[in-house]
Chains A and B, each alone.
Chain A
Amino acid sequence: MYDKYMQLTWNDAIQFLRGIGVTLSITLISLIIGTIIGAILGLVRCSKNKVVSSLPLILIEPLRNSPLVVQLFLIFYGLPMVTRIILEPYPAAIITLSLNTAAFFAVLVHSSIKAVPEMQWQAGYALGHDLKSTFIYIIFRQSLRILVPQAITLYISQLQCSSLVALIGLMDLTKTGELITLRTMKPFTVLGIVFLLYYFISTPLAKLAQKLEKRVGFSY
């Protein structure tokens, strides 16, 4: 009687798909929000004013240098206590992953702009552009070449990190995998499927990033 209960069924396949859906939706939304916030923070970090450029660090440093789990628990368990607002796991996950992504993305933006040789700025000014114009027409495109492959690598990494939302009970791909494993007692099969799913979503992006990185190696 128990054997039937422990088999993998088509229902499980549907659960997996649901799990993928949750994982992808959380990841995509967080990446979009995180990229926007991160871009703003990164640009502020490029300011010539030492005080202004240090301000984003207040957010960036703690987020980069502590475990994502701790950030997640702080927001999911801690914040509701302080603000008396009830927080569902799904929004909590998105807030955490967004902020975390923003911190890492800000560093990428800052470093990719700084990586454009000083000469390029001087060339822009010499041609009559002001700061804004130089940046938009000359610096920005060049910094993108460096930024994009690194950003893709970051996004892949954040996809893996999204699995941590299982720790606050969200039924993402990982949590689904765990529950089905526990039920069927077939860790190798079930988790093997989970592995392959993550792998096949991540690998094409990884190859894309590799290709783009090779293209960057032209001059500097």
Chain B
Amino acid sequence: MYKLNFRFLSQYWGMLLEGVGRTFIIVVFSLIIGFVLGVLLALGRGSKTKILRGICTFIVDFLRNTPFLVQLFFFFYGLPQLGINTDPMITAIIALGINTSAPNCEVIRSGLLAVKKGYYECSAALGFTPFQTMIYVVLPISLRVAFKPLTSNFVNLVLTSAVAFYITVMELMGSAKTVTAHTSRPFEVYLVILVGYCAFTFLISFISKYIDKRISITL
């Protein structure tokens, strides 16, 4: 019978924690990049110019219908050829940020579409400029509608980040591989990692549900 042995935790928890830290950094920066790009793509997809609309739609389709691993390779092997030599962690952040901008774009678009024409007209009738309408009416409504799906995208972002170890980034999965190599206990190590990610996901879902309840509006 196989004896489960979790003693490695006491020895290697520092290393694992470092991995969590790096995952955290990657995820936060990717989130910011992904959100900004997502907004730009969403605006592009709703644009009146046919060409811009077409390009943005294509970019979103492309990012969603091709594997993230290939996108990661693309930046990892491709950027140096363009003369851009960066730390693998930065490469991971770029790739992840760009990848997550596609689902974000879709979510933000659905948020923007939730703001019906009547609101724009009413705001104009009250004397607001289009810019003011955007700030005081469109954004508050869109972001509230988009919040829950955006957190869902965030969770996916974190889960996808686990692949970064393959381009030598020592985030959580990378640390896990090292610990496995030292302890020869892959089952226990990966089980702990799995539980760790699950715990994180539940935490995010819980917080997100709480926030969503407080900010949600009936349209």
Contact among B73, B161, B195 for A191, CB-based, below 8 A? B73
> A163's closest neighbor in chain B, by CB?
B67
Report B99-124 CB contacts with A as 1/0, cut-off 8 Å. 00000000000000000000000000
Contacts of A83 in B (CB 8 A): 2
Q: Which of A141-181 contact B (CB under 8 A)?
A: 156, 160-164, 166-167, 174, 177-178, 181
Within 8 A of A (CB), among B180-208: 180, 185-191, 193-195, 197-198, 201-202
Taking the closest CB of chain B, its distance from the CB of A112, in whole angstroms, is: 18
Please, how many residues of chain B have a CB less than 8 angstroms from a CB on the other chain?
A: 39
- Give the segment of B29-37, B38-46, B74-82, B133-141 that binds chain A: B74-82
Count the A-B residue pairs with Cβ separation under 8 angstroms: how many?
Answer: 122
A73 to B174, CA, bound (A): 12
Known interface pairs A195-B74, A203-B61. Does A161 touch B67 (Cβ–Cβ under 8 Å)?
A: yes
Give the size of the chain A interface in residues (CB under 8 angstroms). 42
Chain A interface, >50% SS class: helix
* Cα–Cα, bound, A66→B78 (Å): 29
Structural contact, B162 and A203, CB atoms closer than 8 A: no
Does B8 reach chain A (CB closer than 8 Å)? no
Cβ 8 A contact of B193, one of A70, A161, A195, A202: A70
Asked whether B201 lies within 8 Å of A65 as measured between CB atoms, the reply is yes
Given contacts A195-B62, A202-B66, A206-B64, could you give 11 more A-B pairs where the C-beta distance is less than 8 Å? A61-B198, A71-B194, A78-B186, A79-B187, A81-B186, A82-B187, A160-B65, A160-B66, A161-B67, A163-B68, A174-B70
